[in-house]
Amino acid sequence: MNEIFDPLTLLLLGLAVFILFKLRSVLGKRTGNERPPFDPYSKPEQTNGKANGQDNVIQLPDQVTHQPEPADQRGRGGDVVIDKVAPAGSALNGALKRILSVDRSFEPEQFVEGARAAYEMIVMAFAEGDKKALKNLLSRDVYEGFVSAIEDREKRGETIESTFVGIDKAEIVEAALKGTTAQVTVKIHSQLISATRNKEGEVVDGDPAKVTEVVDIWTFARDTTSRDPNWKLVATESAE
């Protein structure tokens, strides 16, 4: 019996009691009033059908309720953006503002980003001979021209190996409003790796190991009265 209470056992029991006491003092007691664990997928607490005492509306810090702009103020923000893209008083500035006057959703910077994305998609779809992808991005005339080039290539048994490296620069260089149709021309500086092989697999054009700098000038158009927000490629030319 005395062996149970040897000095080592007593020391361990004392240490255990000390640790439990410290944990209790640090963690505290549960009183039954603690907040439940946070659930990020749960709904906000409601009181009488209201969240935070307001009719199911959670106000963000420094949230400001915007009033509609007066009629004579509308569009001025867009004009300021256009002044950043094209010098005030220039022909390009005036053309972009005419487009904005009939299409309040037009934003030059977003347009350029869309043109960059469309450029990559069109270049790669042409290289791969993907007519279906091209049809949704090109006007009828440009589409027919691309399809003709693809079919001629296929008849010769040629294939294109193409890698899109990236776009160094894209900028609006011209714009016009013709009736209800808006046209915007973009100059695009890109880098590509491209090579055309014949049916024997020999390279007949380009270089599969060389990055080539390409400068294209593409024009996109959209009927501003249409519900379709997409622009289509209507003309292409090389700056070289």
The string of pLDDT tens digits covering residues 90-113 is 999 999 999 999 999 999 999 999
- Tell whether pTM > 0.75: no
**CATH (residue range 78-238):** 3.10.450.240
Dump the DSSP string for 3-54. Answer: GGG-HHHHHHHHHHHHHHHHHHHHH----S-PPPPP-TTSPPPEETTEETTB
Q: What are the E-state strand segments in 26-180?
A: 46-47, 50-51, 159-178
Given this model, what pLDDT does residue 51 score? 40
Q: Who wins on pLDDT, 48 or 181?
A: 181
pLDDT over 50 at 40, yes or no: no
Given this model, what pLDDT does residue 20 score? 55
Given this model, what pLDDT does residue 24 score? 52
Task: Map out the domains of the chain as residue ranges.
Answer: 78-238
pLDDT over 50 at 46, yes or no: no
**Tokens representing 114?**
């869309």
Contact (Cβ atoms closer than 8 angstroms) between residue 199 and residue 105: no
Given this model, what pLDDT does residue 80 score? 81
pLDDT over 80 at 124, yes or no: yes
Of 202, 207, 237, 206, residue with least CA distance to 219: 237
Q: In the structure, what pLDDT confidence band is assigned to residue 21 with cuts at 50, 70 and 90?
A: low
Per-chain mean pLDDT for the chain: 79
Given this model, what pLDDT does residue 191 score? 97
SS3 at position 71: coil
Q: Who wins on pLDDT, 190 or 35?
A: 190
Amino acid at 145: G
Rounded-to-integer distance, Cα 15 and Cα 19, Å: 6
Of 199, 211, 126, 132, residue with least CA distance to 159: 199
Given this model, what pLDDT does residue 60 score? 30
Given this model, what pLDDT does residue 39 score? 35
Q: In the structure, what pLDDT confidence band is assigned to residue 239 with cuts at 50, 70 and 90?
A: confident
Q: In the structure, what pLDDT confidence band is assigned to residue 225 with cuts at 50, 70 and 90?
A: very high
Please write the tens of the pLDDT for every residue from 158-212.
999 999 999 999 999 999 999 999 999 999 999 999 999 999 999 999 999 999 9
Q: Which residue has tokens 């390409």?
A: 214
Q: Who wins on pLDDT, 220 or 84?
A: 220
Contact (Cβ atoms closer than 8 angstroms) between residue 210 and residue 193: yes
Please write the tens of the pLDDT for every residue from 68-83.
343 333 345 577 889 9
Rounded-to-integer distance, Cα 226 and Cα 11, Å: 86
Other CB atoms within 10 A of residue 94 CB: 13
